Chains A and B, each alone.
Chain A
Amino acid sequence: MTRLTTGFHPDFDALSAHADRSDTEAARTKVSRHVSGCEKCRATVEEIRALGSAARQSVAPGVPAGMWTRIEQQLQKGEPMGGAMTQADREIGVDAAKENMPRPNASDRTAKSSLARRSLLGLAAFLAVISTVLVLDSREPLAAATPRRLTTDREAARPGEVITFHYRPIPALAGQRSLTIWMILPNRGMQRFDQALERGGVLRRVSGLEFTGTVAMPDSTPLAMFIVGDSTGDIIDRTELRANRLPSVVLSANSHGQPRLDAFVLALGGGRGSSDPATMTRWATQMHDLYPSAPETWILTALYARRSVIGDIVKLFESKERQYYGWHDRLEHRTGLSEETETMMATLGWELMDTARAEFWTTRLMHDHPESPSAPSLWIDRYRDVPDDSAALVLQAFEPIYTRPRQVQGRALERALMLAARSGDSALMQRWHLRTDPRNMSWVLGSELANIARDPVALAELRRRLQVALLEADSAEHAGPTLWGSARLFAWYDRQRVGTRLAALQLIDGDAKGAKAVLDSIAHDMAARPTCPMPETLRWRAEASRQLGLMADARADLAYVVVTGDWRRQVLSDSVPALLGPAYTKASWDSALAEANRLKQKCWADSRDARRRGGG
């Protein structure tokens, strides 16, 4: 519908069509022109869009208890299972199967909006959604509408206090006599999962499908999250994580049994954007009641505050801006502010595009809390829009900030990489590319090899990072129980990959013999397991063999790389005949390909069998 009124403003239907761009080109141009200059209509369009966001964010209840039992009973009565499709089955299934490609839902589409819109309207929409969804009374158990499998008798506990849990198992765990409750302690760092993980206690079966057990609240953590698995951690109930919901959380309590301020800060600050708004609102309300004068409370509770239902988004935005000015005036000359407060003030400043205040708080954070992991991101954020010819200067200034010994957030690295790309300086780009992930695949591609070899700084840094990564992989492989059965296998695989890259650097340094010995050892280690050789290892070994004049070995390895498909393009673009020189003949290459294919099929079959034997 693209009707326009003859008056000054487009009518509601025209704005509605404009909101999801279903109007015609001509009408769109006309309405767009009007909307861009009319605040009232712009607000209506945003309001219309926010209705959709609110509906998407709305939490519908989960499947009620006992549902599967009902279905199973029906199945036992002889309801249809396998066999030929009936017309009814076709109606529900086949039509849907016509379009097997995943459908981007409306929220995916909105994610494609522009940066400017994201920064201003994103916040407005966020507030609108929050305000719409959170109008529920905080005591109303919205999250309880989707019953959790793991429930507890308390939301806050003093260190050492005993917490009782009840658990309804997933089918994979239902057959166990006892289960383990695992604690995730975020204060130990979430970069490495096994570091944050601790065995909490045991759940014992009390009836057919109910387990219960107790756990003592750990010391020195603002909060603990709990999930259930078997005793080895091979099978874990990931229901809550799959539903994009917080797992069961218990906040640390003070001596009066009330949740501590730092617990609220971590829970609300870290959980922002969570799809469990009812829990967030409940915490925000409690925080406001318990710590009304803490600056962290002003900021966090405002983000989760109960507000009126969806309405004038611009007003909400303006109100947020006014609140921010107020906080700034009250905090500007106060000393001893926490890292969280200063980080939040800087972040909000950027979100509200209040550059002066954002810069003020970023500088304060860098000065008061130089080790804060958010500081580098906030610092570099302010230069995101500099002209291209200034990008290199910004990165030069960022270098000492980046190299300080602290954990640097991925966002800072992404921003730096973006600036490096804009600078047009390939060495700079290479350096930041390596820093974003020393384990990624692209650095070893032939075209980038020369760049690495030419840049001694990048080379040295890469070597250092790979050595750290090797130690990490080694310790992860030999760590205690982990939550994932495959965790050790991944750690082992990671070790082989990182080892391969260190050997590649050795090769670049000219030590072909040493590099080949290492790569032989890695390939041998792989052959001892029911897994396939890594094409990356064999690609580098082929290069080492080639340099050592072992052309038959080089040919076999190159053939394997080609038949696996990985890196095929690189090998082919490097041209096998050119790589092998006189050792290349069509017959010998074909025979090497056939042998490589046989090897590949065999190792695939072996690894499949091993997976089956190990229960998948």
Chain B
Amino acid sequence: MNRSLQAATAPAQQDGDVADVLRERIARAREGDREALGELFVEFGDMVYRTAYRLAGCAADAADITQDVFLRLARALGGFAGTSENFDGWLRRVAVRQALTHLRSGRRRREVTVEGVANLFAATDDMVNRLTIDAALARLSDEHRLVFLLKEVEGYDHREIAELLEITIPNSEVRLHRARRELRELLRGSR
């Protein structure tokens, strides 16, 4: 249903129009047009927030990161030389970089949420197997979680991860293996 609906609601001919609209929005946002920035927020805010949330593992930090990205977006767009088709990928990388900057800055809120607490205790609940991949990821150390997410979810290779996190390539590889091992153990242990 979902797929057929999307096929029906997004005819191929509209791709050109959508790209035009986005190109215009980007140009307006670059000039500092707040309305255009708002439109970009409506369209890409969820994606930026999700990327930030995954990397920071905390809603408060994700909100801070998203806010920083959109506050600086107009200026950052000065460095965007791509097309509307690859804007999505560019913005995602901006979000990743902002998230890493935020995590390194010591401004982290380390907020404990109700869901977070529930997840921490989830593995002791023998009645239902509630430990999810998210909860398991939340238990990893930052250094392991970041490498795992950058590699598996964001699609960076080890060279890029090493550059982003200012570590060596073998170190990035080791962290990935360790993250996987820990995740596997956490998830297996919860059964």
Q: Do these two chains interact?
A: yes
Chain A residues with a Cβ under 8 A of chain B: 1, 12-13, 16-17, 20, 22, 47-48, 51-52, 54-56, 58, 60-64, 67-68, 70-72, 74-75, 79-86, 88-97, 99-106, 108-109, 132-133, 135-137, 146, 170-172, 184, 186, 190-193, 196, 225, 238-239, 241-247, 266-267, 270-271, 273-276, 308-311, 483-484, 486, 490, 493, 611, 616
Give the docked Cα–Cα distance between A240 and B6 (Å): 10
Residue of A with least CB distance to B83: A100
- Whether A61 pairs with B155 at a CB distance below 8 angstroms is no
Q: Please give, as numbers and ranges, the residues of chain A lying within 8 Å of B79 by CB-CB distance.
A: 85, 89-90, 93-94, 96-97
Interface string of B147-191 (1 = CB under 8 A from A): 011011111101000000000001001101100110110011011
Q: Contact: A106 with B129, CB < 8 Å?
A: no
* A105 surroundings in chain B (CB, below 8 A): 153-155
* CB-based contact B76/A85 at 8 Å: yes
Give every chain B residue within 8 A of A71 (Cβ-Cβ).
41, 67, 70-71
**In the complex, which of the residues A67, A86, A271 has the most CB atoms of chain B within 10 Å of its own CB atom?**
A67
If A92-B98, A100-B90, A616-B21 touch, whether A135 touches B131 (CB-CB below 8 Å) is yes
Tell me the interface secondary structure of chain B in the complex.
helix
Tell me which of B13, B71, B151 contacts A106 (CB under 8 A). B151
Name the distance in Å between A33's Cβ and chain B's nearest Cβ.
Answer: 21
Chain A residues lying within 8 Å of B39, measured Cβ to Cβ, are 171-172
Of the candidates A17, A61, A88, the one whose C-beta lies within 8 Å of that of B49 is A61
Q: Could you pull out 5 A-B pairs where Cβ atoms are within 8 angstroms?
A: A68-B45, A81-B34, A82-B32, A186-B4, A190-B8
User: When the two chains form their complex, are residues B81 and A55 in contact, meaning their CB atoms are under 8 A apart?
Assistant: no
| CB contact under 8 A between A102 and B89, given known A48-B180, A97-B79, A136-B130 | yes
Closest CB in chain A relative to B182 CB, distance in Å: 10
CB proximity to A under 8 Å, residues B7-65: 7-11, 13-14, 17, 20-21, 24, 30-32, 34-35, 37-39, 41-43, 45-46, 48-50, 53-54, 59, 63
Docked CA distance A171–B151 (Å): 35
Cross-chain contact B80 with A97 (CB below 8 angstroms): yes
Counting CB contacts under 8 A, is B107 at the interface?
no
- In the complex with contacts A310-B187, A616-B24, A92-B97 CB distance below 8 A: yes
State whether A47 touches B184 (Cβ < 8 A). yes
Cβ-defined contact, B81 with A266, below 8 A: no
Q: Contact between B85 and A58 (Cβ–Cβ < 8 Å)?
A: no
Interface residues of chain B, those whose CB is within 8 Å of chain A, are: 1-11, 13-14, 17, 20-21, 24, 30-32, 34-35, 37-39, 41-43, 45-46, 48-50, 53-54, 59, 63, 66-83, 85-86, 88-90, 92-94, 96-98, 101, 128-134, 137, 148-149, 151-156, 158, 170, 173-174, 176-177, 180-181, 183-184, 187-188, 190-191
Complex CA gap A103/B48 in Å reads 16
CA–CA, A104 and B131, complex, Å: 29
